[in-house]
């Protein structure tokens, strides 16, 4: 079973020893259509975007104007209606998928955790890449060489243990961290 969630932020448990947890809230979603493999078209609210295509889908499935985003998920529902969150009460481990924070164009020390050169005066090699290839053989830069470039805005999946689930508010406490900024939307999938 998969669910659309919004990341609230991180905190810690009050147990001894305390453990870091990420709080995520289940986004209110409507199941529009379910096929025989339990794959469903799910509508959920995000922002105020609207166009003719979205309005057509809302009319087709009898949705209000706030449900303006659509996604395909594995669901517990057998038919259209509100998304069934009952399986989360028994779940212990989930896989959370979010898009990581964007860091723009980053150097090798930030992007790949390179050591860097000496920081003292006289050195001309502080935060640079260093040598990137050999002269005679292979006489080119090898494919996959770690170099500066665009860092972040990648889809990251992490396996997290469920510490607690509040069915009333739809808030789940996941052990450890998940990628993305606070307020970011992602998905969680129950691992059997």
Domain that holds residue 24: 2-190
pLDDT at 79: 84
Please tell me the pTM assigned to this model.
Answer: 0.88
pLDDT at 50: 93
pLDDT at 121: 94
Residues of the chain with confidence (pLDDT) below 70 = none
Calculate ∠ Cα 41-80-92, nearest 5°: 75
pLDDT at 81: 85
pLDDT at 80: 87
Query: Per residue in 64-92, is it b (16+ CB within 10 Å) or e — as a string?
Result: eeebbbbeebebbbeeeeebebeebeebe
pLDDT at 4: 96
pLDDT at 13: 95
pLDDT at 158: 96
pLDDT at 71: 94
Number of domains observed in the structure of the chain: 1
């Amino acid at each position: 079973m998969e669910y659309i969630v919004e990341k609230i932020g991180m905190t810690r448990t009050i147990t001894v020893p305390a453990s870091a947890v990420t709080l995520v809230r289940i986004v209110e979603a409507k199941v529009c259509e379910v096929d025989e493999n339990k794959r469903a078209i799910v509508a959920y609210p995000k922002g105020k975007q609207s166009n003719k295509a979205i309005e057509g889908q809302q009319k087709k499935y009898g949705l209000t104007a706030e449900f303006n985003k659509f996604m395909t998920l594995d669901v517990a529902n057998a038919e259209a209606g509100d998304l069934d969150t009952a399986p989360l009460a028994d779940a212990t481990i989930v896989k959370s998928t979010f898009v990581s924070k964007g860091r723009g164009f980053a150097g090798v020390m930030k992007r790949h955790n390179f050591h860097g050169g000496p920081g003292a005066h006289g050195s001309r090699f502080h935060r640079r890449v260093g040598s990137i290839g050999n002269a005679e053989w292979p006489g080119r830069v090898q494919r996959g060489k770690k170099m500066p470039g665009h860092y972040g805005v990648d889809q990251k999946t992490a396996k997290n243990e469920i510490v607690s689930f509040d069915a009333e508010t739809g808030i789940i406490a996941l052990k450890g961290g998940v990628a993305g900024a606070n307020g970011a939307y992602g998905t969680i999938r129950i691992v059997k």
